[in-house]
Every structure is written in structure tokens, then in C-alpha cells.
Chain A
Amino acid sequence: MSNPVFEATDVTKVFPGVLALDKVGLSLSPGSIHALLGENGAGKSTLIKIMTGVHRPDGGLMSLDGKPFSPHTPRDAISSGVGVVHQERNLIPQFSIAENIFLERLSTTPFKKIDYPNLYAEAQKWLDLLEIDARPETQVDKLNVARMQLVEIAKALSLDTRILLLDEPTASLTQHETETLFGILNRLRQDGASLVFVSHKLEEVQEICDRVTVLRDGHNACESRSLTGLDRQDIVRLMIGRSEQIPQWSQRDNSGHNVALDVQNVATQDGHRNISFQLRKGEVLGLYGLVGSGRTELAKALIGAGKVTSGDILINGEKASISSVADALHNYSIGYVSEDRKGEGLILIHSILENAGITVWKRLMNAIGLVTDGKVESAVDPVLKKLEVRTPSLRQIVGNLSGGNQQKVSVAKWLAANVKILIVDEPTVGVDIKTKAYVHELIRELSDAGTSILLITSDMPEMVTVADLILVMDEFELRGEIVNDRNYDAVSERIMHHIHGSTEEAAE
């Protein structure tokens, strides 16, 4: 085996109140894709940030090509040949795709005129390679989440570094885009690059990685060992200390239950037409579609954050006119867990307590409008406990939590609200397998207790595990309805048939 390109030994990092990394080691050899795994908050992103000069370690050594390596700034790391896709989005919203991709190089030649035609042409190559359907001069704040993620990846790839660190690059991608990305990563591996790949989707890890490091509570559960000979259950055991329990839920028939939400011929300002469906009490109704098919927009229109232009919405049989989310929450008891936790789901500069309590203040306040932290805490604490949000205290700022724990808080606030109808949009993006199972169980429990749930997810296994009935949406229209008999292959094939069947029709 060749010498490692990069080696980290005994790396330690302390945040106020948190020992994020405790003597962690990692070594990367050339021509390999190295999986970095662990539960939410295990320290994966922290390690990556230390390797790229965002954080300084409190102890330990790193070496690059055998020489000591201690990047002080992200710039140092880039110039030493370490590229990265961070877990959080890091694009300049007002800039074009092309400029974002080549931002690094802009700063190295400050006084040389930018050759825009050339820049766009170069960027187009990357867009083509990653199959991004957008023009290089498009401003990135006009893109949806998936495309932004792809631009971020293009940006890192274009640096052409020997070491490339990818922190959950596929979290908001669908299978198709993921496959494209894997093709590129495989080629890079053949060219001798060292890659680090972070993901909570173990299928992906097994598909593409050859080595693995697992972190647990900030220390190595295993360090840089070969993936061969490890099956999924082994990896899971390394990560969470026990094996995975895959729930096998029985099929439910809710057809006898009352209709909680009846959507009749709804059209929206965003372009939905003829949307009709029924959500029954205690039912989990799945809404599947490809990225950009208009599911989020529909959900927002239903809760009053978007405009319904025609058609009727009936709640418990009565016609509802929902003017705002507050209206939806307080008068109709509908909630919505946003897919964009950073932008819409959470208030990053506020504490966990403030975030989780936001939906219950009104309910808990006394006659003169006062609410004490104690009351809020007792209302949200059980939910947070149940979701196992990892934090030294409920006063921790949400922005400091690991990605997965943030997601838990974003779900928790709606659980605390005790709504009758809950729309859940991509609830497990970036969530580790253990928590994912919790979230699924939770959805199940809620629905058993009578809550009606509209589940939007691009994660097919999740859909098949959790939903009772699946609606398929494409291009802002509903294409069909499938009864989920929990047979993964059959259901997924039927879903894809609805989507592709319709596109074929459209092409004719």
C-alpha cells in the first residue's frame, strides 16, 4: 500500500461546552474514496473544518505528504491542494453560477480583467459534466436547493485538488444526480485523488467508498480501515453501538376514517392545476415527485404561505380559507415542517428552546401575555428528549448544532404544537440512520394517535417505509395515486412509471 497523502493523529477540538473531537485520527491514501461516518454530532464536519483551516485544532497533528500541515485559513488549505464541499451551503447569492464556481481563482489575480465569455464557457463545461440544467450566468439565489448543491460540488471539483472532502454532498440530491456525481468521483479516484465522502445514506457509502473511518461521540470508533468485509450491519454497529432495526409496518386501511383535509380542484399562483386529493384522519399520505415538481409550493399554498387561486380546501368537511401560516396553525391546526431548515425552518441565532417553543408560546401565555421559560421547557423538553437532540443545554444556539440535530429541532417544534394535520417536507435530510428511524416511528405514532400527515420526500425507501398511500406529482400536476403495499420494488416501479409515463406523453 502506498504512503498516506494526508494523516491526522490525535486531533482534538473543544467548543464551549462540547468536546467535539477527542484524539481523532484519519489517514488518506491516494486513489481512494474514504467514507467518514458517524451519527449526527459525532464530529465529522468539525474534522473536515479543521482539515480545511476553518477551525484550529486544540490538540493533535496533521501532515500532508509527510510534512506538518496546519492551515490557518481556508485559503491555506486550498493552496495546499485540499478542496472541500461544506455541509452548509456557501454560495454568494447575488453572484452568477459561473462566478461562484470560480470564486477562488478570482482572488488570486485581483487586477486581471475577468473574461466573462471565457468564464461562462468554462462554467458551462462543469454544468454539462454534472448535468445541471441552468445557464452559467444565472444568479444562484434563483436556483433550488438541489441545483445549489450541485453548483457547490462543481465549485470544489473545478479546483482540481488532490484531496477533496465532500461533506454530505448528496443530502439534497436525487438518485439520478447522485449517480452522475459518482461517475465523476470514480474517475477522480482512478486519477489518483484522495476523497473523503460523508453521508448518512449507507447504500451510497457501500457503492462508492473503499475505506472508512467512523466517529462516535467525537472519538474514533474505527480508523481508516478497509470497507471490504464490512456489511451494512457492521457499519451501523460501529456508528451507533447496536444493530439497526428495520421496522416492518403493517399496511393500514384508513378508508373508513373521516377526511381531515379535502383538496378540491386547487390551482395556485405557482402554477398548480387541478389538484385534488383527500387526507384522512390518522393517515400518512406520501407525496412523491422529482426535484422541482412543485410539491413544496403546493404545501406552502395549503398552509397559507402561498396563493391558492381557485378551487376549495375543506378541513373536517368545512370550507377553509387560510390567509397565513398563523391562521393555519391557530385556527385550523395545520403545521408545516420546512425542507429548508437553515432558511425557513430554524432561527439559527436563537437557542434550541426558542426554536422549539415558537409554536407554543401563544398557547402557553397567561392572561397578560407572559410566558416563562420553564413552561416552554416543560412543553418542548419531552419532544426534544424523544428525538434525542444532542446538546449540553437547551440554551445552546441552534446554529452551533450539527446538521442532523438541527433537523431534529425543526421537526420538534411542530411536534410540540400538537397539530391535527402536519405537512412534513423532506424530514430526514442529513439525519443519521438512528434518528431517521426515530422520525419514522414518530410519524407512525402520531398518525396512530390520529394526526393526519402529508409526507413529502424524495427518499424512495423512506416513502415506502412510512406512507400508507402515495400521490405522485410531476410538473405541478398530480399524476396518480398508489396504495403502498410496502413492496419496495413494485411500488417504486409504479411511481416511476407515473412520472416517466407522463413525460413520454408530454414529449409526444
Chain B
Amino acid sequence: MKREFLKQDWFGPFIVTLLAIVIVGALKPSFLSPFNIQILLLAISVNALVAFSQMVIIAIGQMNLSVGAIGGLAAISFAGMMEIWGLPWPLAAVLSLGIGLFAGLTNGLLCAYTGISAFVITLATLSVFKGINLGITEAQPFYDVPEVVKWLGNATMVGPIPWLVVPFALSAIALWYLLFRLPLGRSVLAVGGNTHAAELSGISVPWIVVFAHSVSGLLAALAGIMLVARLQLGQPSIGDDWLILSFAAPIIGGAILTGGRVSVGGTCCGVAIVAIITQVLVLFNIDPFLVQVVLGGLILWAVSVNRIREVREQRKAAAGAS
């Protein structure tokens, strides 16, 4: 039983996260102050959705380069609809989610029914979505974000836990349930694990691809909307640099780029690790000219800790078998 637990994909990243919290907390007690925890949770909430959005696509063994463009488009639509059309925020949010869903659907349909690699398709739609964003905003932010939305972006629920954690937690649970308990989600992973076998088993691969891309679009849009609440304005540049994070977090969390294997918990830990590293750079007053070096070094540290654990597990397994 205990062994099973150790073998989970999320376990390694989880240990790394704990280790990081303990080390940083010991060196800088202010790291564990309620306000800082709140800041950390805010960062994690939004970034986790970005990572989930990519994770769903990694699950089917593809890549979605347009997550950031979809998120940005949803963000400025959300802010724009409220500012220009004066829509109430829930309606604007739903419509923006719809835009994200539609964008994802478009990606999915193009990938599924043309057979062209998702890499090329989403690269092209990235350009399309970003262009629409710039065309609408002409690079000017939307400023008139209603107070409620600003409040939601910053207010806390209980203790240091911000409200933005709610959409994140709900999405995480929903995704976990989908991918590991529902046949639909298992089909998504099956397609990623071995597309040909999944097809031969009667799974409708195109429909699964469309579904995964739609979910990805929806999650990216949600992240964009949450960022509007957090930044308190509709910046057209939202999403411009999501791409690397969106891959890094799931991969640190144990996902395999060829598909079929992702971990919701691991991805959350991956996001947390990246957030903690970001904080470390600020908390320890790293020379700005060395920030990138330390960042890279810490990423290497995080993944190699996990890797060493894996290797040790394998050794133990090998030793046990003989």
C-alpha cells in the first residue's frame, strides 16, 4: 500500500514542493506570513489554470501553442464587454468563457479533421487570436473593470485564502475527476497513450481531440478572466508569456510530452514550485543580473531531486524482483 503511494506521479514534485517550503521558510520566516501565502496562492491559482490548459493537450500527445493567445483574447473580451457594452460581469465572464471554448473548438476541429499537426494549427491560430486581440485593443488596456471584479481578484475568503482559489480548486477537482474517474477522460488519456490502439478500440479519436482542445480553450479563458480580476485591468499583453510556464509546470509535475500520462496533483506542485522559485528570487534579493542563472539552477534542482527519487525507486524495484 505504502509503495503504491510512493509510485504516484505527483509524489516526487510534492516532496520537492515541501522541501522548498521548508527550506525557504526556515531561511526567511516572512515567506510563511499570511500575506505572503495569499500572494503565493493568487499566483498559483491563475498559473495552475494556464498549466491545466496545456496539460489537457499534453494528455492527448499534442501541443497547444495558442493557450496564451486564447487567454489574452478572453481577458480583453471580458474587460472590453464590461467597459464598452456595459455588460454585467457574470454575463461578460460567461461570454468570454464562450469565446475561449469556441477558440479551443476551432483548434480541435482543425486538428481532428485536417490531420495537420496540432503544432502547426495552434501556431497559426495563435497568430489569429493574438491579432484579433491587438486589432480590438490597438494595444490599449481596458481600464473600467467593475469594483466587484477587482474585489474578487484580491479579497480573501478565510484567513489568507483568496477567492481566486475557488475556480482553481474547482477546476482541479473537476479535471482530476474527468481524467481519472470518467470514461471520457480516460479516453482522452487513451488517445494520448496510443492513438492507433484507441481508435481500434472504437474510441472516436477526432471527437476526443475536439473535446480536449475545447476544454483547453475554456481553461485558458478562465485563467485570462482571473488575471483581469487580479491585475484590475484588461491588458492586451495578458498571455504573451504563458507558453513556457504552461509546459514547464505539467512536465515538472510528471507529465510525458508524448501523451497519455499527466498528473493534476503533480501539475499543481509544478506550478507551486515555479511560484516559490519566483518568490525566492525576490525574497533573497538576488542581483538582477544573476536572477536568470538562479532561476535556471533552481529548475534543474527541482527536476533532478524528483529524478533521483525515481531512479532510486527503479533500483529498489529491480533489487526486489531478483
Contacts and interface: CB of A to CB of B under 8 A. Distances in A.
A and B associate = yes
Interface of A: 52, 54, 73-75, 78-79, 84, 86, 89-95, 99, 103-114, 155, 269-271, 476
Contacts of B260: 92-94
B141 interface: no
B186 interface: yes
Interface string B83-100: 000000000000000000
B202 A79 contact: yes
Contacts of B187: 106-107, 110
A159 to B, nearest CB: 9
A86 B200 contact: yes
25 contacts: A73-B199, A73-B202, A74-B199, A75-B202, A75-B204, A78-B201, A84-B200, A90-B196, A90-B200, A92-B193, A92-B194, A92-B260, A94-B260, A99-B186, A103-B190, A103-B201, A104-B202, A106-B203, A107-B204, A109-B183, A111-B183, A111-B184, A113-B181, A113-B182, A476-B322
Closest 7 CB pairs of A and B: A271-B322, A110-B184, A90-B197, A106-B183, A92-B193, A75-B202, A103-B201
A270 B261 CA distance: 27
B318 A75 contact: no
Contacts of A84: 200
A90 B261 CA distance: 17
A43 B73 CA distance: 52
B70 interface: no
Contacts, number: 90
Interface residues of B, number: 24
Contacts of A270: 318, 321-322
Interface string B192-214: 01101111111110000000000
A90 B194 contact: yes
A99 B193 CA distance: 12
A94 B189 contact: yes
A424 B267 CA distance: 44
Interface of B: 181-184, 186-187, 189-190, 193-194, 196-204, 260-261, 318, 321-322
- With most chain B CB atoms within 10 A of its CB, the pick from A92, A94, A109, A155 is A92
A103 B260 CA distance: 14
A89 to B, nearest CB: 8
Given A106-B183, A114-B182, A270-B321, 7 more contacts: A73-B202, A74-B200, A79-B202, A90-B196, A110-B182, A112-B182, A269-B318
In terms of DSSP, what is the predominant structure of the interface of chain A?
loop
A104 B182 contact: no
Given A75-B204, A107-B202, A93 B183 contact: no
Contacts of B204: 73, 75, 107
- Residue among B200, B203, B261 having the largest count of chain A Cβ atoms under 10 Å: B200
A92 B198 contact: yes
A54 B182 contact: no
Contact of B190 (A78, A95, A112, A155): A95
B189 A95 contact: yes
Of residues B181, B194, B201, B203, which shows the largest number of chain A Cβ atoms within 10 Å of its Cβ? B201
Contacts of B200: 52, 54, 74, 84, 86, 90
Contacts of A155: 201
A271 B261 CA distance: 30
Contacts of B199: 73-74
A271 B321 contact: yes
Nearest to A152: B197
B182 A111 contact: yes
Contact of B181 (A78, A94, A114): A114
A74 B201 contact: yes
Contacts of A94: 189, 193, 260-261
The residue in A89, A99, A106, A112 that gathers the most chain B C-beta atoms within 10 A of its C-beta is A106
A350 to B, nearest CB: 18
A269 B202 CA distance: 41
Contact of B194 (A52, A91, A109): A91
A114 B189 contact: no
Contacts of A75: 202-204
B202 A74 contact: yes
A105 B199 CA distance: 13
Contact of B203 (A91, A95, A103, A114): A103
